[in-house]
Structure 1
Amino acid sequence: MFSPSQEELCALNKEPVKYGELVVLGYNGSLPNGDRGRRKSRFALYKRPKANGVKPSTVHVISTPQASKEHQRPPQGLRSLPSLSNRHRGKSFETTAQCPGRSQSAISAKGHHSISFTLSRSQTVIVEYIHDKDTDMFQVGRSTESPIDFVVTDTISGNQNNDEAQITQSTISRFACRIVCDRSPPYTARIFAAGFDSSKNIFLGEKAAKWKNPDGHMDGLTTNGVLVMHPKGGFTEESKPGVWREISVCGDVYTLRETRSAQQRGKLVENETNILQDGSLIDLCGATLLWRTADGLLHTPTQKHIEALRQEINAARPQCPVGLNTLAFPSINRKDVVEEKQPWAYLSCGHVHGYHSWGHRSDTEANERECPMCRTVGPYVPLWLGCEAGFYVDAGPPTHAFTPCGHVCSEKSAKYWSQIPLPHGTHAFHAACPFCATQLAGENNCVKLIFQGPVD
């Protein structure tokens, strides 16, 4: 039978081709104060009406002290540089000789993108980029300037949005990374560290980690780095964690530095690429993004499916085994408000109850209680349905809760995220709940819930 491609389906429906979506970990469907403009919890990448991609063209070596001063900027140790795809590298570069009279302003006047590598006070290498009709470019970062398509700020663990918890100094780069998608099937998406600013430039200052590769092209890393992890087996029920790597400005793959901002780069990993896969994780040192391909999203549960699962649980009328009152998960649009019928659970054993005030143990932490069903002592928290469909690896019923936050999702989704080491700070890694970014704890990081049905 004829099976139309995504592009043909989109043409029939007059809808643009979707390359994929970026979903920020730590948000359960939307930002705490709501999604606004380019600042939201998920961002869809669609084929642009007109290609805006760029590819490297000419290399200019500027050796005059005057020109060198013009290119330096005070920013954070290292900014960013562009490069499109590995296939362009080293092939399309045309190198000019030492160019004392040629400056960045001359390149800017031509309206071209460029990457500046400041090697010393007296020498700067500028890689000029030209239009690429075959690719679309999308930029991600903390800046709200127009070149940034998806504005991302630091994720606060536990999804708290009070003033006390606000990040005082962000570790996310203003122009953190760029994703370049082929405009033709299979719409391959590649990630590169750093993004172009409003002047169409990426600047790597003297202190930035940068180097010249054996084939002659320049490359470098951003201050806190862009890390990527491709899961083994894609984003499915059988997926396993992959290995975290660092992506360079030109899209090469390196082992991690000793710390996020160390001057010494890791080792080149020649058999791996910067091509994003369904389920790839992108860490910007302050926020972690999940990449979902358009095809992967077609096999993922929808909001309607999750709502149907919620109604199915509530229709079974689970009861508190002690108070015998009926429990119910609140509606998705009230997912942050504790309600009277809210199910609560003892996370050490998984027994689900209604809220009660007994069971405190004076010799334990304040949030720990003794379960009246099995006498197990552990965290006692309200349960919340995981509403962000992009985090589910299957469409199974919500039977497991993360410890200690109480977000509920399918068994395989819970077990998948429980074994993913997410970057934390400058050199630590730990598993976290994808719905609220709370660090997971407990023997297995998640627990199977034990509901009691109605007794009548």
Structure 2
Amino acid sequence: MKHDSTQTWSLTSVFRCNGSLPSGDKGRRKSRFALCRRNKANGVKPSTVHTSCTPQAAKAISNKEQHSISYTLSRAHTVVVEYTYDGSTDMFQIGRSTETPIDLVVTDMVPGGQGPADSQTVQSTISRFACRIICQRDPPYSVRIYAAGFDSSKNIFLGEKAAKWRMQDGQMDGLTTNGVLVMHPRQGFSQDSKPGLWREISVCGNVFTLRETRSAQQRGKMVAPESNELVDGSLIDLCGATLLWRTAEGLAHTPTVKHLEVLRQELNAGRPQCPVGFNTLAFPSLRRKDVLDEKQPWAYLRCGHVHGYHSWGGRRDPEVEMECPERECPMCRTRGPYVPLWLGCEAAFYVDAEPPTHAFAPCGHVCSEKTTAYWGQILLPHGTHAFHAACPFCIQPLSADAGCIRLIFQSPLD
């Protein structure tokens, strides 16, 4: 049977990019990645285990054509597991490194989507070779995730301080320094979805409860009934970057960028007005999604009233306003954040195709009601042991009292 060489497993979308990286999508550094069936399989699977430092083990490590994982138990004892070619799978690797083995290059980003964290002042917590994804080339095209990726020498090294152990079948397993966390949604990825539980994935793909802190040496408890297979809507956290996994089937029910553009045009066609200046408001095009426009809608995020920018009771400079956004709404006198509204442009984050009627607070990203409701109940990993809800378009933490608000637009008086 001839298989379709263009088989696409999924789209992986990076949180906080809102459709594209601030510096633009280039090469392997993008805001989203499509994983397609390779022309030639490059998957690997475990084979020989060397329990002592034999010449064969040393050869496996030094051979740049041989994949292997080294588990250092002590200075005098290293277990080496050889990996052999697997023609039935394709392997894709994700990490911070720009070396050739990495297919998807990800970097730490500060909340708000302003750009990558200053590498000289903030040390990245994302591993250079963070994880690998193994995809079946034939039906049912299952996809599984494993912690750690092979470097340019086709090796994975787990140092003496890394959490590691021997399993009952004699194989070794372990965890990476800051771990690879995965959460599978319940009831699929749709408007009825509910958050699942965050788990940690090991180097061999086993599933564990979370460690006490991200880099603790004591592993969590193994969760045998659960699997490392990715499903539509699975979240992958690499301690500095969070990815959303969407399957090809799931994306077929997701609004496209063209559909989001239609929704934007329909919203603007209603000619919403500022109730203070009576000027017509309009959301800028998706290509100018981060550029303040004179027709830019602004909103008071405690009450949801939408205005154009005005200096009523505040500063006259919109740029300064964004630094100190607390204002009193002239319509209802409610005090709260006063921010520009931005359309959420990453279609993969939407759970339905409904109009953009709600905004995340305090960032002002706008999408459908059920999309804000879904992400408002997802607690994303933050730092080494904290979790908080955040806007997927910019990863800014949501307000504790009201993470989203229904927008109230003023219709034209004529």
Both structures adopt the same fold (TM-score exceeding 0.5): yes
User: Which of 29, 35, 43 pairs up with 1:39?
Assistant: 29
Out of 237-246 and 109-118, give the one that drifted further: 109-118
Q: Distance in 2 between matches of 1:55 and 1:242?
A: 29
Identify the residue that residue 119 of structure 1 maps to in structure 2: 73
Measured in 1, the distance between the counterparts of 2:377 and 2:107 equals: 25
Offset of 1:257 from its aligned partner?
A: 0.3
Indicate the SS of the match to 1:159.
coil
Structure 1 match to 2:237 = 283
Aligned match of 1:29: 19
Q: Does 1:380 align with 2:338?
A: yes
Q: CA deviation at 1:163?
A: 7.6
RMSD (CA atoms): 1.8
1:54 aligns with 2:8: no
- Which residue of structure 2 lines up, in the alignment, with residue 143 of structure 1? 97
Match of 1:197 among 104, 127, 151: 151
Which residue of 1 is the match for residue 248 of structure 2? 294
Shift of 1:308: 0.2
What SS does the corresponding residue of 2:357 show, helix, strand or coil?
A: strand
Q: Is the 8 A contact 1:225 1:285 kept in 2?
A: yes
- The alignment partner of 1:242 has SS state of coil
Q: TM-score, normalised by structure 1?
A: 0.87
What is the alpha-carbon distance in structure 1 between the residues aligned to residue 355 and residue 38 of structure 2?
Answer: 37
More displaced, 118-127 or 135-144?
118-127
| C-alpha distance in 2 between matches for 1:376 and 1:209 | 52
Letter in 1 for 2:73: L
Q: Which residue of 2 aligns with 1:70?
A: none
Matches within 5 A, 1:439-450: 439-450=397-408
The yes-or-no answer on 1:270 pairing with 2:260 is no
1:237 aligns with 2:191: yes
CA displacement 1:126-181 (0-9 Å, x = unmatched): 00010001100000000000000000000211111388697621000000000000
Match of 2:7 in 1: 17
Q: Are 1:357 and 2:347 counterparts? A: no
Q: Distance in 1 between matches of 2:267 and 2:117?
A: 36
Q: For 1:228, give the aligned amino acid.
A: V
Structure 1 distance, partners of 2:327, 2:60, is: 69
C-alpha displacement of 1:366: 3.3
Deviation track 1:361-400 (CA, whole Å, cap 9, x = no partner) reads: 9xxx931111111111000000000000010010010000
Give the corresponding residue for 2:161. Answer: 207
> How far apart are residue 104 of structure 1 and its match?
2.4
Q: What is residue 423 of structure 1 aligned with on the other side?
A: 381
**Scaled by the length of structure 2, what TM-score is found?**
0.95
Change (3 A) 1:33 1:134: same
| Residues 304-359 of structure 1: per-residue CA shift (max 9 Å, x gap) | 00000000000010001121110000001100111000000000000000100113
Residue identity matched to 1:382: P
**Residues 99-114 of structure 1: matches in 2 within 5 Å?**
99=54, 101-106=55-60, 108-109=62-63, 111-114=65-68
Q: Please, which runs of 5 or more residues in structure 2 have no aligned partner?
A: 316-322
Give secondary structure in 2 for the equivalent of 1:62: coil
Check conservation: 2:191, 2:351, Cα contact below 8 A.
Answer: yes
Match for 2:350 among 370, 374, 392? 392
Using a 3 Å threshold, how does the CA distance of structure 1 residues 375 and 322 change in structure 2: closer, same or farther? same
Correspondence for 2:130 among 166, 176, 179: 176
Deviation at 1:121, TM superposition (A): 1.2
Shift in Å, 1:300: 0.5
Distance 1:349 1:239 in 2: 27
SS in 2 for 1:378: strand
Alpha-carbon offset, residue 110 of structure 1: 7.6
Separation in structure 2 between the aligned mates of residue 166 and residue 348 of structure 1, nearest angstrom: 38
For 1:68, the equivalent position in structure 2 comes to: none
Q: Within 1, Cα distance between the matches of 2:281 and 2:333?
A: 22
Aligned ranges 1:66-145 → 2 under 5 Å:
99=54, 101-106=55-60, 108-109=62-63, 111-145=65-99
- CA deviation map 1:76-113 (0-9, x unaligned): xxxxxxxxxxxxxxxxxxxxxxx3x3342355438220
* Aligned-residue offset at 1:21: 1.3
Contact 1:320 1:353 in 2 (8 A): yes
**Aligned partners of 1:342 and 1:357: how far apart in 2?**
14
SS of structure 1 residue aligned to 2:182: strand
SS at match of 1:307: helix
Please tell me whether the aligned partners of residues 179 and 200 of structure 2 are also in contact (alpha carbons under 8 angstroms): yes
State how 1:304-323 maps to structure 2 within 5 Å.
304-323=258-277
Q: What is the distance in 1 between the residues matched to 2:117 and 2:34?
A: 29
CA–CA separation in structure 2 for the residues paired with 1:163 and 1:410: 30
CA 1:167–1:291 in structure 2 vs 1: closer, same or farther (change >3 Å)?
A: farther
Change (3 A) 1:307 1:350: same
Letter in 1 for 2:102: I
Q: Distance in 1 between matches of 2:64 and 2:276?
A: 75
Contact 2:391 2:398 in 1 (8 A): yes
CA distance in 1, matches of 2:310, 2:243: 37
